[in-house]
Amino acid sequence: MDYRIEKDTMGEIKVPNEKYWGAQTERSFENFKIGIEKMPSEIISAFAELKKACAIVNNELGRMDKARTDAIAKACDEILEGKLDENFPLVVWQTGSGTQSNMNMNEVISNRAMEIMGADFRAKPATDAPNFVHPNDHVNKGQSSNDTYPTALRIALVLELQKQILPAIERLEKTLDKKTAEFAKIVKIGRTHLQDATPLTLGQEFSGYAHMLKASKAQIIASIPFLTELAIGGTAVGTGLNSHPKFSELVSAQLNKQTSTKYAFVSHPNKFHGLTSHDAEVFLSGALNGLAANMMKIANDIRWLASGPRSGIGEINIPENEPGSSIMPGKVNPTQCEAVTMVAVQVAGNHASVAFGASQGNFELNVFKPVIAYNLLQAIKLLSDSIISFDEHCAIGISANEEKISKLMKESLMLVTALNPHIGYAKAAQIAKTAHHNGTTLREEAINSGFLSAEEFDKWVVPEDMIAPKA
């Protein structure tokens, strides 16, 4: 491999000649051979948006010439287009402030900007040359890793929520709303404690699933106003040293132009909070964890209701997507449900990592930022993908097994609950227990008990009349 010599404040180091990164990136690359988890691409894109916005604002404030500004902006655009993807090699497990990823971005932009301006960055023009772009003095002007990384994180989160998770939720929500209407008149037995309970409609059951998603969506949206508050402009410890008083406000406005976000970014009202606390990220993580819990419940219910095909509950049918066993011929498993439940437990673990990480904001800086970023963005991705997969390969194709539903409902002893207002709890319980002991029907034992007539039983025990309160 061909190498070149790059320099930083610690001296010289060899860097692969075909790469745009510099000395600080190389040191991190060599010093942190930990895991395979690379800095998320969403963070890289968010950083590119941020660096572009910062360059434009520095130019507006008279702190950077137009030529450098334009070159930096173009380099950022190329990053956003994916043209420089191979230049961001760093892992998550690095410095807790994300300093090396910030410098990775600064170095790549700096070198590519010089190239755009006609300079050979490998030979480095003189520092006073008009086409020299310094990673710190120009690309990072008015900034610190301590305010750029949390800003990039929040840019990534707000954009990915809009791009991924909210549309995914809405998609499955629509499917479940359709199923609610489709199953509105199918009366079935309910279950509590995994035991028979009073009737409801299959549509009512599915309406609960749909509303879970509506609630989860609202909870995620509720977190966004806190995530739109950006730390940029706080620099090292929140004081804004070496920045400009208007920098944060102007960068936030520029980011809104660039990203066309529905949820506008604003300058964080207290940069000391913005650098050292990630409570907004914990809030979001909790909402994602709540969504994961809801998806776990929905997926579990679906696979229970579809269990069988002959020895389970079997009240619904789900699509048969692939063979389920290497030894049992013809077996088909609820695989989409299983994928969703695995994602749910992963997200629960992610939430624990985010919460622990966010609690470690010592003095003026939290140094768990990359792990917080990784876990949140993974949770968003996994939940989004699994919800879309579950919708496409399972939920849309769910149908009711009305024959099985009717059979199980008619056999249920809990229809006896309808008799409570007429003969009292104790007598109704006696009828149910006797029927269960004798293996007979409720109707038979109700009549045999002498507590009511056959006509009264048929009038009072009507499952269709047991699915809503009555005055």
Where along the chain do its domains lie?
3-141, 147-402, 412-465
In this structure, CATH architecture of domain 412-465: Orthogonal Bundle (1.10)
In this structure, CATH architecture of domain 3-141: Orthogonal Bundle (1.10)
Q: Looking at 212-318, which runs of residues are DSSP E strands?
A: 229-230, 266-267, 316-317
**How confident is the model over 338-348, as a mean pLDDT?**
98
d(CA 471, CA 465): 12
Cross-strand pairs, 16:
3
d(CA 425, CA 419): 8
Structure confidence at residue 3 as a pLDDT band (50, 70, 90): very high
- pLDDT > 90 in the chain, percent: 99
What pLDDT does 124 receive?
87
Structure confidence at residue 155 as a pLDDT band (50, 70, 90): very high
- Closest among 236, 163, 63 to 155, alpha carbons compared: 163
Name residues whose C-beta falls within 8 Å of residue 441's C-beta, 6 or more positions apart in sequence: 435
Q: Looking at 193-332, which runs of residues are DSSP E strands?
A: 195-201, 229-230, 266-267, 316-317
Name residues whose C-beta falls within 8 Å of residue 463's C-beta, 6 or more positions apart in sequence: 187, 199, 409, 415
What pLDDT does 25 receive?
98
The CA–CA distances, whole Å, from 248 to 17, 30, 92, 243, 273 equal: 36, 34, 26, 9, 15
Structure confidence at residue 424 as a pLDDT band (50, 70, 90): very high
Specify the DSSP class assigned to residue 193: T
Both structure tokens of 236: 């090292």
Which one of the listed residues 41, 144, 307, 325 is annotated catalytic? 325
What pLDDT does 471 receive?
81
- Closest among 128, 101, 108 to 32, alpha carbons compared: 101
The domain over range 147-402 is classified in CATH as 1.20.200.10: yes
**Predicted confidence (pLDDT) per residue in 16-73, tens digit:** 999 999 999 999 999 999 999 999 999 999 999 999 999 999 999 999 999 999 999 9
Find out whether 460 and 422 touch, Cβ atoms under 8 Å. yes
Would you call 237 exposed, middle or buried from its count of C-beta atoms within 10 A (0-12, 13-18, 19+)? middle
What pLDDT does 1 receive?
77
**How confident is the model over 388-397, as a mean pLDDT?**
98
CB atoms within 10 A of CB 166: 17
- Closest among 255, 263, 257 to 54, alpha carbons compared: 255
Both structure tokens of 297: 């419940």
Find out whether 353 and 288 touch, Cβ atoms under 8 Å. no
Structure confidence at residue 470 as a pLDDT band (50, 70, 90): confident
d(CA 317, CA 333): 12
Task: Assess whether 193 carries a catalytic annotation.
Answer: yes
d(CA 370, CA 34): 13
**How confident is the model over 189-216, as a mean pLDDT?**
98
pLDDT, mean over the chain: 97
Task: Assess whether 399 carries a catalytic annotation.
Answer: no
pTM of the model: 0.96
Find out whether 387 and 429 touch, Cβ atoms under 8 Å. no
Which one of the listed residues 41, 97, 193, 268 is annotated catalytic? 193
Helices assigned H by DSSP within 89-200: 99-116, 145-160, 166-182
Find out whether 39 and 28 touch, Cβ atoms under 8 Å. no
Find out whether 355 and 285 touch, Cβ atoms under 8 Å. yes
Tokens 């509950």 locate to 313
Tokens 């299959």 locate to 202
Q: Residue 106's Cα: distance from chain center in Å?
A: 28
For the cut 90, the answer to whether the pLDDT of residue 141 exceeds it is yes
What pLDDT does 435 receive?
97
